[in-house]
Amino acid sequence: MMQFKQSPVIFDEDSHSYQLDGKRLLGITGLIHSILGLGVYPDASEHVKDFIIPRAGSRGTAVHHAIQTYDQLGIKQTTQIVHTRYGCRERDNISYVDETWDVSSELEAYIRHLNGFKPLANELTVSDNVRYASQIDNVWQYEKTGGIWLVDTKTNNIKLYPLCGYYNANYFNSGEDALKEYLSWQLSIYAELFEAENPGLKVEGLACNWLKADADAFWVIERKPSELVLELLKTTYFFSDNGPVYFHPDQSVFGIGSTLPAEVKEQTPIVAPDVVDYFTSLLKTYKEAEAKLEEAKTALRAAMTEHKVKSFDFGSFSATIGADSVSTSFDTKTFKKDHPELYKKYASSKAKKGSFTIKLKDND
């Protein structure tokens, strides 16, 4: 039996989160959504986000569990119970339900797709051990060649799958094409991480088991160039109150903006929309807080002046009224014009880093 490296990354299935030595790592779904604009449901209502999508995800989890049980034990456990979370923390409507699913059709389709392959591993964790981690649904061996195939299982309704891609709302002609492009990036990332963690092993192929109760397909998926995948994995992120915010300095390397008219290209943002939204929210908060702070400072200074208090310690902060003074300034520009040689004699130069300014527009 072929052995693969066991990643030190810890995966928590309930929260679907990854940790390494106490540090949180992110999966790659948000990365692909945010930087490439693939697989994003932009028009989803709160009801769809809170209930319809989690319910579909619950059935998908049931399918994954049935496949893993079959691969590891040879048992067709077609009835699966999934502890499913509905709702949203921000809307304070979270609830948990134990959903029971019959996934016999999906499991039989999976077994048909497995013909000619040998299952080697399920839910294999791979990571760059710096920023990203993920679990490969299936690692198969092609019996004819002995080669390794990385296989993902999808249960999406492709009739409803978003056609957006690379920040173009109608980039694809069909949900199937859109899902395959998403899979191409997802599985290509898996391949890079798998090969990095298992030196000497090469991935021969990528594929997807698309499984629905009334339809199924086995797709061979194209692998993206390594240089593009590694560039995508350089994407940094930081955590905001609303979740992770991703940043890549040049999304054009992934083709974003290349299909836009010339007059629009210059306005194409170099960061994902959620980064723009995050900064806009911070700037608005800062502007409002700054105005309130100035108002409060004026009132506090007036109160301290009235009570003839120059300095006071309030516990969590202190306030001090400085003494009035007269400042003297030197007109460098005029002096340089009137006495250029003398100015040159006493002037010195040193490198200074350029400033960085973020300004909230008035209409925002």
Q: Which run of H or of E encompasses 149? A: strand 148-154
Q: 308: which 2 tokens?
A: 């003839």
- Domain-embedded: residue 125: yes
Q: What does the pLDDT look like over 109-146, one tens digit per residue?
A: 999 999 999 999 999 999 999 999 999 999 999 999 99
Q: Which run of H or of E encompasses 97? A: strand 95-102
Share of the chain above pLDDT 70, in %: 94
- Domain-embedded: residue 232: yes
* Largest CA-CA distance found in the chain, in angstroms, rounded: 94
Q: Identify which has the larger pLDDT, 296 or 75.
A: 75
> What is the structure's pLDDT at 273?
67
User: Quick one: DSSP state of residue 46?
Assistant: H
Q: Specify the pTM.
A: 0.75
Kindly report the average pLDDT of the chain as a whole number: 89
Residue 222 has pLDDT above 60, yes or no: yes
Domain count, the chain: 1
Report d(CA 236, CA 31) in Å as an integer: 9
Rounded mean pLDDT, 305-323: 88
Q: What does the pLDDT look like over 7-62, one tens digit per residue?
A: 999 998 878 899 999 999 999 999 999 999 999 886 778 888 899 989 999 999 99
- Domain-embedded: residue 262: no
Q: What does the pLDDT look like over 243-266, one tens digit per residue?
A: 888 888 888 899 876 444 444 444
> What is the structure's pLDDT at 63?
97
- Domain-embedded: residue 102: yes
Q: Given pLDDT bands bounded at 50, 70 and 90, which one contains residue 354?
A: confident
Instruction: Give me the domain span that covers residue 66.
Output: 10-247
Q: Given pLDDT bands bounded at 50, 70 and 90, which one contains residue 1?
A: low
Rounded mean pLDDT, 79-92: 89
DSSP conformation letters of 150-213: EEEEE---TTTS---BTTBTT--SSHHHHHHHHHHHHHHHHHHHHHHHSTT--EEEEEEEEE-S
> What is the structure's pLDDT at 272?
61
Q: Identify which has the larger pLDDT, 16 or 87.
A: 87
- Domain-embedded: residue 198: yes
> What is the structure's pLDDT at 261?
41
- Domain-embedded: residue 113: yes
Residue 91 has pLDDT above 90, yes or no: no
Three-state secondary structure call for residue 309: coil
User: Quick one: DSSP state of residue 116?
Assistant: T
99: domain CATH number is: 3.90.320
> What is the structure's pLDDT at 47?
87
Rounded mean pLDDT, 81-100: 90
Residue 96 has pLDDT above 60, yes or no: yes
If one counts every other C-beta atom within 10 angstroms of the C-beta of residue 198, the result is: 17
Three-state secondary structure call for residue 81: strand
Q: 137: which 2 tokens?
A: 């649904």
Q: Which residues contact 66 (CB under 8 A, 6 or more apart)?
A: 76, 77, 78, 80, 103, 106, 107
Q: 95: which 2 tokens?
A: 């609830």
Answer whether 124's CB lies under 8 Å from 68's CB. Answer: no
Residue 231 has pLDDT above 90, yes or no: yes
Q: Identify which has the larger pLDDT, 208 or 259.
A: 208
* Cα–Cα separations (whole angstroms), residue 268 to 205, 256, 308: 35, 8, 56
> What is the structure's pLDDT at 364?
47
> What is the structure's pLDDT at 269?
46
Q: Given pLDDT bands bounded at 50, 70 and 90, which one contains residue 268?
A: very low
Q: What does the pLDDT look like over 154-192, one tens digit per residue?
A: 999 999 999 999 888 889 999 999 999 999 999 999 999
- Domain-embedded: residue 303: no
